[in-house]
Amino acid sequence: MAWIDSASFRGAMTERQDCAKTSPEGRHRAHRAKIRLLENQLKEATVGEFTILCDGAAARRGDDKAPSPLQYFVAAIGF
């Protein structure tokens, strides 16, 4: 099991809060994703510098080549 470096996390959060207090740009964050349908239910998303794949289960006309949207959502809760 990995341990969270609380001091480092707290420092990063304090830095973000200070930035938000001193400049309007620090108050707003926009995240965008570019989505492409590759085949059947297989999709490719580009988010920032990262590219991820998402697919549906065979029961939902997918090919099970990548995690489903719900699997990504469940993982995101853990992050």
- Note whether residue 1 is domain-resident: no
pTM of the model: 0.61
- Note whether residue 32 is domain-resident: yes
- Note whether residue 13 is domain-resident: yes
The β-bridge partners of 50 are: 47
Domain count for the chain: 1
Q: Give residue 36's domain range.
A: 6-78
Encode the chain (79 residues) as per-residue pLDDT tens digits: 567 788 888 898 888 888 777 776 666 677 889 999 999 999 999 999 999 999 998 888 889 999 999 999 999 998 8
Instruction: Report DSSP letters for 9-69, one per residue.
Output: HHHHHHHHHHHHHH-GGGG-----EEEEEEETTEEEEEETTEEEEE---GGGT---SS--H
What's 64's domain CATH number? 3.30.300.20
